[in-house]
Structure 1
C-alpha cells in the first residue's frame, strides 16, 4: 500500500502549505503529493489528472478535507467510482471518513451533496449582494475609457462610424453601441 496525497486551493491568493504539511505529517512522501490551484467545481485539474494516472490497486489517497477533492456531487461520485474500480481508497483526514467499505462510500456521497449545496448557497449570496449593490447605485465592470461625447459630436458633424472608430482608436462596433445607447426612443 502506497500513500498519495492531494491538495487543492481555489485561487492563487490561497496557500497549499497547511494541506501539504498535514499530508506530510501522516506519512505521505513529498513526491507523492499532487496539488492544484483551481476551482473544485470541475475535475479537469492537472494535479488530479496526474494523480489518477499514478495510483494503482491497493494505494490510498489522503485528502485533508472532502471539499478539497471537489465540490460537484456528480463529479465526486464519478471520481470515487473511478478510484474504487482501480482498487484505490480515499481517506479524508479532517472529516474522519474513508471510501473503504459501503458505509464509507455512502457517507462520502452525502457529504459531497452537502459541499455542492454550500457552493450554491455561496453563489446565491454573492448574486444577492450584487443585486443589492446595483440598487444602491454601485457600478460594476471597468470604467469607460472612450470619450463618448467626442464620438457623438463627430457623428453630429457627419463623420462616419469607420472614421470615428479610427480617430478614437476603438472598434466600429463600439461606435455603433455608443450611437445606439444615445438614441432617443420615438
Structure 2
C-alpha cells in the first residue's frame, strides 16, 4: 500500500500550500502529491490524469476535502468508480470519510451532490450580484476605446475639451491626449 495525495485550487492566483502541507503531515511523499490549478467542475486536469496513471491496486489517495477532488456529482461518482475498479481507495481527511466500503461510497455520493449544489448557489449569487450592479450603472468588461474621429470632429467644430468629455463620457485628459496624438 502506497499513499498518494491530490490537491486542487480553482485559480492560478490561489495557493496549494495549505493542502500540500496537510498531505505531507500524513506522510505522503512529495513526489506522490499531484496538484492542479483548475476548476473542479471538469475532470480534464493534468495532475489528476497523472495520478490515475501512477496509482495501483491497494494504493490510497488522500485528499484534504471532498470538493478538492471535484464539484460535479456525476464526475465525482465516475472518478470514485474508476479508482474503485483499479482497487484504489480515496480518503477525505477533513471529512473523515473514505471510499472503502458501501457506506463510504454512499456518503461520498451524497456529499458530492451537496458540493455541486453549493457551486450552483455560488454561481447564482454571483449572477444576482452582477445583475444588481448593472442596475446601479456598473459596467463590466473592457473599457471602450476612444473615438478619436468624434473627438477631432467636435474639436474642429469649436467644442471645448470639457464639453467633449461630457458628451462622450470620457475624462477631459483623454480628450487632450487624443487631440495631442492627432498632431
Q: Report what 1:103 is aligned to.
A: 103
How does the TM-score come out when normalised to structure 1?
A: 0.79
2: CA distance, partners of 1:9 / 1:115: 15
Q: Does 1:89 align with 2:72?
A: no
Q: Does 1:136 align with 2:154?
A: no
2: CA distance, partners of 1:101 / 1:110: 15
2: CA distance, partners of 1:106 / 1:148: 63
Alpha-carbon RMSD across the aligned residues, in angstroms, is: 1.5
Using the TM superposition, give the Cα deviation of residue 149 of structure 1 relative to its aligned residue in structure 2, in angstroms. Answer: 5.3
Alignment of 1:18-29 (within 5 A): 18-29=18-29
Q: Does 1:39 align with 2:39?
A: yes
Listed one character per residue, the Cα deviations across residues 55-111 of structure 1 (whole Å, up to 9, x for unaligned) are 000000000000000000000000000000000000000000000000000000000
Aligned length: 153
Partner of 1:145, secondary structure, is coil
Q: Report what 1:67 is aligned to.
A: 67
Listed one character per residue, the Cα deviations across residues 16-65 of structure 1 (whole Å, up to 9, x for unaligned) are 11101110111111110000001101000000000001000000000000
2: CA distance, partners of 1:146 / 1:19: 46
CA gap of 1:148–1:73, structure 2 versus 1, over 3 A, is: farther
2: CA distance, partners of 1:53 / 1:19: 21
Listed one character per residue, the Cα deviations across residues 104-138 of structure 1 (whole Å, up to 9, x for unaligned) are 00000000000000000000000000000011011
Q: Report what 1:55 is aligned to.
A: 55
Unaligned runs of 5+ in 1: 154-186
How does the TM-score come out when normalised to structure 2?
A: 0.81
Partner of 1:76, secondary structure, is helix
